[in-house]
Amino acid sequence: MATPPDCLFCKIVAGEIPAEVVHVTEHAVAFRDINAQAPTHVLVVPRAHYANAAELAHGDPEASAELLRVAAAVAAAEGHADYRIVFNTGEGVGQSVFHTHLHLLAGRPMTWPPG
């Protein structure tokens, strides 16, 4: 899949933009969100560019599953048995970077429904 030249997360994956990377696999990179909404707020992104979670699941199901495995590993490494995973798909629900990513949130009580 082609990498858009202005994709922030593609640039982080490529090491062109610094980030606090906490976990790396063959298919995914996890790094701390600079606008943290919880004590642990990590973004997990596939190395390949897909605009949203649905595109990733269709185009590379293994990488899609890898995001969940990485999120679980990061949560465990940070000492959290309870955590929330959020995918935003589309501008209307808050997606602002159009490269698939999940938000791993932990370390504080969370209510339902969210925001």
Which residue among 27, 41, 101, 103 is the active-site one?
101
7's CB contacts (< 8 A; 6+ apart) are 49, 97, 98, 99
In total, the chain counts a number of residues equal to 115
Tell whether the model's pLDDT for residue 3 goes beyond 80.
no
pTM for this prediction: 0.94
Q: Which domains does the chain have, with CATH numbers?
A: 9-106 (3.30.428.10)
- Give the pLDDT confidence of 65-97 residue by residue, as tens digits: 999 999 999 999 999 999 999 999 999 998 999
Q: How confident is the model at residue 1 (pLDDT cuts 50, 70, 90)?
A: low
Q: Is position 41 annotated as part of the catalytic site?
A: no
- Give the pLDDT confidence of 28-42 residue by residue, as tens digits: 999 999 999 999 999
